[in-house]
Amino acid sequence: MNDSCKTTWSSAEDLVGKLKIGDLVEFKRCASSGVGLYNHWGVYMGFENGIHGIGHVSSTGNLIKKSEICVENLFDVSEGGDCRINNSMDILFDPSSENCIKSVIKNKLGDHTYNLLVNNCEHFAKMARYGMSVSGQANNAVALLGAVAVFAFTLNPLTSIAAGGCLYCISFLKDITFMPFFKYLVETILNKFLPKKKYLGN
């Protein structure tokens, strides 16, 4: 995997030579006017079957409709836009091995449990690399909506900013603390009573 946590934005053609299996790849998604809409995320799977594969959640463009986990060509996923390696969470968490990351993605192929609203492409990519579903974009959305709602009731900008900050922290901590702890608790109980078997990815 790549030792550089984050590269500068570039074309897929310029980026491909820097990619290592397991790298998270962030893709810019822009409107026809060039205004940025959001960033799409995927995981580099290496060169197989004649393509530089990206494991990602296929985009439906619908907030509610389920999307599907698939592996597609890097150059198709980029849609001609800029992209970059973004392993920035390596600073906080150790990434899984290349084989483990590829195994997670292959086992999820065809999974339809993802959507833009609550379980998106960034959640999936970071789950594959770090074992936890985290989305900065989703956390930002929660914080923004919360701040707007608080401002609508209080008409106090400082209160709304504080509320937004608190909601972001709660959302982030939920991703990195509560779910991993719950997984550890269940895993410990299962292994205690059934020690000869392995569960939850152990």
Active site residues: 40, 121
C-beta of residue 69 within 8 angstroms of C-beta of residue 105? yes
Q: What is the 8-class DSSP label of residue 182?
A: H
- Single-letter amino acid, residue 171: S
Give the CA distances from residue 133 to residues 16, 22, 178, in Å, rounded to whole numbers and listed in that order. Answer: 25, 15, 11
Give the C-alpha separation, 17 to 159, whole Å.
47
Count the Cβ atoms, other than its own, within 10 Å of residue 53.
23
Q: What is the 8-class DSSP label of residue 78?
A: H
